[in-house]
Chain A
Amino acid sequence: MAGLLWPCLPGADAPSRHGTAGRSRGVRAAVLATTLMVLCQASRADPIEEKVQLCNACHGENGIPQDVQTPVIWGQHQGYLYLQLRDYKRGTRKSDPMSTIAETLERDEMMALAEYFAGKPWPRLGQPSASDAVAAQAQRANVAVNCTGCHLGAYQGDGTQPRLAGQRREYLVKSMIEFRTRTRGNNPGMSDLMLSISEEAIAACAEYLAGLQ
């Protein structure tokens, strides 16, 4: 598939090879440009595989994202993935690459992409398990606001409720803090909950969740 795509891109080097945290900005900009180009070229009838290649450039050919602030979307739930794409397009959730990407997508394409990625296996990032002390702090936060009442047993999620187990730690921290500051404005309920717990509790939750599978 890549053969189909990359020849029409400027600087056809697959971005996945450059995806270190330090260089991620430039990579993202480049990938974004290519993404937009291809998305714009792609007609509605095109199979989503072409778009998938572009998503993979950042979210990982094997489901493991290059940048630590880019979330795992392989194996994430379809309803949740769809809602995020919808919200990036609506503008209630904002992100440099994703807002622009989502702008070009129609509902059925979002659904198809969401279905495709939901059908992939969740990758193993191999993040370390949290220490007992950190796990206990995360559990206290869970007792206080009942995270698992929504994110469900073992933080596996379902439907529009995201899986958190095994998500990248840095991304988890970022998303929770952005809920807290309402920078991420697409779920006021999560914002309220994050405002009711401390930043230390958030850090503990992220570390604990990252270490689950």
Chain B
Amino acid sequence: MARLGRFAAIGTAFALAVVCTASAQEVKTAAKYGDMSTVTQDLLNRAGGDGNNFLHTNGDYNQLRFYPNRQINVSNVARLRPAWIFQTEVKESLETTPIIVNGVMYVTTSYNHVYALDARTGEELWHYKQKLGPITTYCCGPNNRGVAVHGDMVYMGTLDAKLVALEAKTGKLVWQADIADPELGYSETMAPTAVNGKILIGTNGGEYGIRGFVKAFDAKSGKLLWTFYTIPENSVGVWAEKDATGRHMLRDIAAEKAQLAQTGDPYKTLGGGVWQNPAVDLALNRIFFMVGNPSPDLDGSLRPGDNLYTNSLVSVNLDTGQYVCHFQYIAHDVWDLDAVSPPILVDVRNSQGQVVPGVLHAGKTGHVYVHNRNDCSLIRFSEAMVPQENMWVLPTKEGARMLPGANGGVEWSPMAVNPGLGLTYAINLHQPMTYHVESSPYPQGKLWLGGAFKVIPAEEQWGNITAVDYNTGKIRWQVKTPQPMIGGVLATAGGLVFTGEGNGLFKAYDAETGATLWKFQAGAGVNAPPSSYTVDGKQYIVVGAGGNVQLDYKRGNSIIAFTVD
């Protein structure tokens, strides 16, 4: 009996092991998609025309956020309904763009959790929690904006400034690399970009006196390949007196020159974070990204010069990180009206009416800027999407009122483009603020604002979604929202534009007219960029509803996938 029992037990154990392996196998390969889960460079290159997957945070290397499937469209979107809702373990600010590879979805949450989900059912396949080090230094919430996918791996940047590579099938950690020292104010919230065997990532820290960068790591080994410092050793520039739109910035250039003679170039602590993904021009072998504000944000007295390349569009060589060109919107910024929303590569008409490769960027100033891709030069800027008043009054001790407030205009929220219509869609904030200046020396990685921007509580705040014709700079349509907007936009070939609001509403608009065609109350702020995918022949729209720290919108923990059936 005893013998038999043991044998039986062994038998059972064996059977169990087999069962487990079988089901684990199923999980790993997401059922019938099995071998297709390797993300090749070719798939990544063609993502813009891929009507099944959503492979890049901003849709494709051009960052159009234009999904080519039209199954969900203007005529049936009214019937859109939740297919499933997945609740994460973390009820905090969600900024993730869901990435979908052959029926498997990858999402991240605040505090660097990663989930792999079955994109048809929302069922959890695995869950990875990064064990964060004790030192994390971040200004605007414990956010994460998602993963990059490449080969058999998924990649994420962490709040303690590391880059981690996980096995896509299991969520197991493959390697981890230090990007920078969090004790000096560096942190990561952006999604990395995967291209040609490299993982590209910028950094936060413009509020802490960092020296910003974009770095390229080897996708296989995690080895650092190159670093481009967003702040060159000569950051002085041309002493520009006017901003990109020709407005005078009231700089005291004599005082700056005197300061420069005294203290030298401030490049080592000048800030210049890169918050969002670079766009990749595969033909030119160049990347384009936005560089954020100088440190300290509001006090220019310690940082003479134009503070290159803060508040700029910058292009560098993809293989080497060598500088190619830049365009600075605001030299020597003292308002934190910096450049954050990711650039978009699209053909545009130049001032002679010729079609040329262009770059779009939506600024915190409330303008969409249109550039020539070759030399980064400015072709035009759009009408202002939000009220601008008193620009550029200098910050004072008591506080000077100026519009837009320091969050924009357009914050980090990515735009979406409908190239057929020649429209780009931006979400904006109207948040009246006073700008205050204070001066203090570099605090070695501590918060270094050089003053404060204060919301004026008595003044009304609101937001809008604006469609801009990038070939003329004219606003085509605009819809006002009751609260300032932050999150992101998705456009689809179905003639739709999707974006969410802090009050929990997630809406579909007619891409041509701005008519609201559908809305859904998600129960928490929808402040993450939506994405779309198709699996088993059915198109879905998916978005995170977790609220937002920066604007204090109601927190939640839902990933919601919608479909029409």
Q: List the interface of chain A (C-beta within 8 A of B).
A: 77-79, 82-83, 92, 111, 114-115, 118, 140, 142-146, 148-150, 152-153, 158-160, 182, 185-193, 195-196
- How far does the alpha carbon of A88 sit from the alpha carbon of B138 in the complex, in Å? 22
B438 touches A159 (CB 8 A): no
Q: Pick the contact of B440: A115, A152, A188 (CB < 8 A).
A: A188
**In the complex with contacts A189-B446, A190-B447, A150-B139 CB distance below 8 A:** yes
Chain B residues contacting A187 (CB-CB under 8 Å) are 443, 446-447
Q: Is the CB of B438 within 8 A of A195?
A: yes
Contact B452 A148 (CB under 8 A): no
Chain B residue nearest to A82 (CB atoms) is B134
Cβ–Cβ < 8 Å partners of B449 in chain A? 188-189, 192-193
B255 within 8 A of A: no
- Is B136's beta carbon under 8 Å from chain A? yes
A-B contact pairs, 29 of them (CB 8 A): A78-B134, A79-B135, A83-B135, A83-B183, A92-B444, A115-B134, A140-B457, A144-B455, A146-B455, A146-B552, A150-B447, A158-B111, A158-B136, A159-B136, A159-B142, A159-B160, A160-B136, A186-B443, A187-B443, A188-B447, A188-B448, A188-B449, A191-B440, A192-B436, A192-B450, A192-B451, A195-B438, A196-B436, A196-B454
Nearest-neighbour CB distance to chain B for A123, whole angstroms, equals 21
Nearest CB on A from B366, distance (A)? 20
In residues 511-565 of chain B, which contact A (Cβ within 8 Å)? 549-550, 552, 555
CB distance from A156 to the nearest CB of B (A): 11
Which A residues lie within 8 Å of B132 (CB)? Answer: 159
- Contact: A153 with B443, CB < 8 Å? no
- Establish whether residues B142 and A158, one from each chain, have CB atoms under 8 Å apart when the complex forms: yes
Measured between beta carbons, the chain A residues less than 8 angstroms from B469 are none
Kindly report which residue of chain A lies nearest to residue B450, judged by CB atoms. Answer: A192
Does B159 count as interface, using CB distance less than 8 angstroms? yes
Q: Are A159 and B137 in contact (CB under 8 A)?
A: yes
Contact assessment for A192 and B452 in the assembled complex, using a CB-CB cutoff below 8 Å: yes
Q: Mark B289-321, 1 if CB is under 8 A from A, else 0.
A: 000000010100000000000000000000000
User: Could you tell me the distance in whole angstroms from the C-beta of B3 to the nearest C-beta in chain A?
Assistant: 50
What residues of chain B lie closer than 8 Å to A152, measured between beta carbons?
A: 141-142, 549
Known: A186-B443, A192-B438, A193-B452. A149 touches B135 (CB 8 A): no
A142 to B552: give the CA distance in the assembly, Å.
10
Using CB atoms, name the residue of chain A closest to B185: A160
Q: Which of B92, B447, B449 has the most CB of A within 10 A?
A: B447
Q: Is B232 an interface residue (CB 8 A)?
A: no
Q: Give A160 to B140 CA distance when docked, in angstroms.
A: 13
- In the complex, the answer to whether B550 meets A195 with C-beta atoms within 8 Å is no
**Once bound together, how far apart are the Cα atoms of A159 and B111, in whole Å?**
10
Distance between Cα atoms of A79 and B136 in the complex (Å): 7
In the bound complex, residues from chain A placing their C-beta under 8 Å from that of B454 are: 144-145, 196
Asked if B207 is at the interface of the complex by the 8 Å CB criterion, the answer is yes
Q: In the bound complex, what is the Cα–Cα distance between A126 and B555 (angstroms)?
A: 28
Inside 8 A of B441's CB, which chain A residues have their CB?
188
Q: Which residues of B contact A188 (CB under 8 A)?
A: 296, 438, 440-441, 443, 446-449
Tell me, in angstroms, the Cα distance from A114 to B133 when the chains sit together: 12
- Find out whether the CB atom of A160 lies under 8 angstroms from the CB atom of B137: yes
Q: A160-B136, A186-B443 are in contact. Are A153 and B555 (CB under 8 A)?
A: yes
Using Cβ atoms and an 8 Å threshold, which residues of chain A touch B452? Answer: 145, 192-193, 195-196
Which residues of the partner chain A approach B159 to less than 8 Å between Cβ atoms? Answer: 159
B residues 424-478 with Cβ under 8 Å of A?
A: 436, 438, 440-441, 443-444, 446-452, 454-457
Give the most central of B133, B160, B298, B438: most A CB within 10 Å: B438
Contact present for A196 and B399 (CB under 8 Å): yes
Residue of B nearest to A114 (CB): B134
Expressed in whole angstroms, the minimum distance between the Cβ of A183 and any Cβ of chain B is: 13
Determine if B142 and A160 form an interchain contact, defined as CB atoms under 8 angstroms apart: no
- Pick the most buried of A115, A143, A182, A189: most chain B CB atoms within 10 A of its CB: A189
For A77, A153, A186, the residue with the greatest tally of chain B CB atoms inside 10 Å of its CB is: A153
CB closest chain-B residue, reference A150:
B139
Cα separation A111 to B451 with both chains bound (whole Å): 31
Partner of B207, one of A92, A114, A159, A189: A189
Contacts of B438 in A (CB 8 A): 188, 191-192, 195
Q: Are A111 and B443 in contact (CB under 8 A)?
A: no
State A152–B456 Cα separation when bound (angstroms).
Answer: 21
Q: Smallest Cβ distance from B95 to chain A, in angstroms?
A: 14
10 A-B pairs besides A152-B142, A187-B446, A191-B440 with CB distance below 8 A are A149-B140, A152-B549, A160-B136, A185-B440, A188-B441, A189-B447, A191-B438, A192-B451, A195-B436, A196-B452
A27 and B320 CA atoms in complex are apart in Å by 62
